[in-house]
Structures are given as structure tokens and as C-alpha cells.
């Protein structure tokens, strides 16, 4: 553009007066356009944003005049950290057991008996006359109750039925696996403790009951493996409550030993599969 303007000024020197005025006018107009172009280019270079600040797809204002600006499409919501869950954390335990339902409906042959030592079970018919196939799984399902009087009634009712069961317990063992597993799945230390005491009592109540429970070790023992190393760090103190058997690690070890002693020749290999850290009390290397 500068070359064309200079030519027009040189032509205007040798041209007639009227034609020279027209050439000068065109020359000055081209000079002004060239000056405006250079000033606009310098301003653009001075105020241009870096590449990282350039607009991206979906972030501009085009077509949104008079409308609120939407959030950028590429912006993602920040991650929300959930609650920390450990292996020994208590799981959800809804109060919807079959034992509670039947007790509130009055279909169980028991009543609440208040004594000086707490709530006990008052049987409306002799416990040895109760149908174990129907009522024992119901009482075992109530072991995961944490509210009174359901908790005490289920615990002491199960103990009474196991005490009078004898050889009648053997065909009932498969029906007890599901309620025992549901109670262990809560991972509540109090519930797990009650279940382990019931398992110890169960395998010692009748012949071959312990061997009948061996095929179900893989459904019951994984939770015990979690609590096997759970011991209270007392330092140089003394635990005066050992008679209450509240130490989870010691109770798990005691339960595994009882299962092995009453589980027959296949008990140890199945115990070792579910609890790899278990050492046999029968076999020595």
C-alpha cells in the first residue's frame, strides 16, 4: 500500500491540476488506511491473551446475549471423598429379622421373664417338645438383634434349644447357615461374639454335627479371619475381665480350635483355607 501511495504522489507532480488533486486525495486516503491498519495490529498484539486463556468450545458468549452464562462444558465436579470403610467397620443391620416379626405377632412359644439378672425366656411349652426344624432357625436369625427384649430372647432361646436338641440338631444344620451368615455379615463385635458362642455350643451338642458344618466353613469363617488378629493392646496392664470372653482375637482362636476338634479329619484343611494363619491343635509338624 505504501508503494501505491508513493506512485500516486509522483504522478500528481506531472499531472494537470484537476487530475493531480484527485491523485493526492487517493494517496492520502491510502496513507490513512495504512496507518489505521498498523495501529489496530499493534493493539491486537499488545492485548492478546496467551494460549491458555483463549476461549474453548462451549465457554464463549456467542448466541447468549441476555441469557445467564452457563457453566463450561469441560469443567468437571470436584471428587467427593466418601466415608472411610475398614474391614472391621460395622455394616448396615436393619431391624427386620424374622424372629422379631414372629415374636410381635405372638407366634413363638415364649414370653418375657424379668429377673434380677436381666431378661430371660419363659417357655409356654417344654423346650424339648418344640419343633427344631421350624423354630431353631427363627431364633438363630434373631442373634443379630441389638434391641431388647429381642436380643436376650433370641440369645437365651437359642441356647435352650441347643441344650435339648441332641441328635435332632443334625438335619437342621443346613437351615442354620443362612441366619448365621447374615449375623456375621454385620461385623458388629457384639453380634459376632454371640454367633461364635452359638457355633461352639452347636458343634458340641450332638454327634456328627461338627462334621456336618464343615462344608459351610467358606460361608462362615471369612469374617472370623478378619477379627482373628484383633487384640486389645493393654501394655503392662492386666485384663481382669477375661472370664467374660470379650477379647475378639482369643474368642476367634477358641472357636476355630473347637471346630477343628469336632469337625473330623477334613476340618483342618478347610479351616486353613478360610483362615490361613490358623495353626492346628491336633496335627503337629
Residues written for the chain: 285
The CA-CA-CA angle for residues 198, 201, 205, to 5°, reads: 135
Enumerate the H helices of 59-172 as residue ranges.
Answer: 98-105, 132-141, 150-165
What beta strand segments (E) does the chain contain?
A: 110-115, 118-123
**CA–CA separation, 140 and 159 (whole Å):** 10
**CA–CA separation, 6 and 265 (whole Å):** 113
Domain with CATH 1.25.40 in the chain: 98-231+243-274
Task: Identify the architecture of domain 98-231+243-274 in CATH.
Answer: Alpha Horseshoe (1.25)
- 285 residues of the chain, pLDDT tens digit each: 444 444 444 554 555 555 555 655 665 566 566 565 566 666 555 555 454 555 566 666 665 555 555 555 555 666 666 666 677 788 888 888 999 999 999 899 989 888 888 888 889 988 888 888 999 999 999 999 999 889 999 999 999 999 988 888 999 999 999 999 999 999 888 999 999 999 999 999 888 898 999 999 999 999 888 888 877 777 787 777 777 777 788 889 899 999 999 988 889 999 999 888 888 888 765
CA terminus-to-terminus distance, the chain: 102
Phi, psi angles (nearest 5°) of residue 30:
-65, -35
Instruction: Give this prediction's pTM.
Output: 0.67
**CA–CA separation, 218 and 279 (whole Å):** 17
Amino acid at each position: 500500500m505504501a508503494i501505491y501511495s508513493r506512485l500516486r504522489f509522483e504522478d500528481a507532480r506531472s499531472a494537470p491540476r484537476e487530475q493531480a488533486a484527485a491523485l493526492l486525495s487517493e494517496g492520502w486516503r491510502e496513507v490513512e488506511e495504512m496507518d489505521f491498519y498498523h495501529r489496530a495490529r499493534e493493539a491486537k498484539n499488545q492485548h492478546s491473551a496467551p494460549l491458555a486463556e483463549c476461549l474453548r468450545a462451549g465457554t464463549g458468549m456467542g448466541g447468549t446475549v441476555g441469557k445467564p452464562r452457563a457453566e463450561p462444558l469441560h469443567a468437571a465436579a470436584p471428587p467427593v471423598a466418601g466415608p472411610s470403610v475398614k474391614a472391621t467397620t460395622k455394616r448396615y443391620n436393619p431391624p427386620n429379622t424374622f424372629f422379631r416379626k414372629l415374636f410381635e405377632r405372638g407366634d413363638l412359644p415364649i414370653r418375657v421373664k424379668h429377673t434380677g439378672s436381666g431378661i430371660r425366656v419363659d417357655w409356654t411349652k417344654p423346650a424339648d417338645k418344640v419343633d427344631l426344624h421350624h423354630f431353631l432357625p427363627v431364633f438363630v436369625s434373631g442373634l443379630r438383634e441389638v434391641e431388647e427384649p429381642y436380643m436376650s430372647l433370641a440369645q437365651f432361646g437359642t441356647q435352650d434349644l441347643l441344650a435339648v436338641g441332641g441328635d435332632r440338631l443334625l438335619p437342621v444344620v443346613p437351615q442354620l447357615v443362612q441366619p448365621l451368615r447374615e449375623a456375621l455379615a454385620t461385623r458388629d463385635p457384639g453380634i459376632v461374639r454371640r454367633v461364635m458362642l452359638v457355633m461352639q455350643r452347636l458343634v458340641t451338642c450332638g454327634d456328627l454335627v461338627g462334621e456336618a458344618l464343615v462344608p459351610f466353613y467358606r460361608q462362615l469363617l471369612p469374617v472370623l479371619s478378619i477379627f482373628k488378629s484383633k487384640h486389645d493392646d493393654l501394655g503392662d496392664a492386666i485384663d481382669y475381665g477375661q472370664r467374660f470372653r470379650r477379647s475378639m482375637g482369643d474368642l476367634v482362636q477358641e472357636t476355630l480350635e473347637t471346630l477343628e476338634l469336632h469337625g473330623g479329619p477334613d476340618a483342618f484343611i478347610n479351616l486353613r483355607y478360610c483362615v490361613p494363619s490358623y495353626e492346628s491343635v491336633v496335627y503337629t509338624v
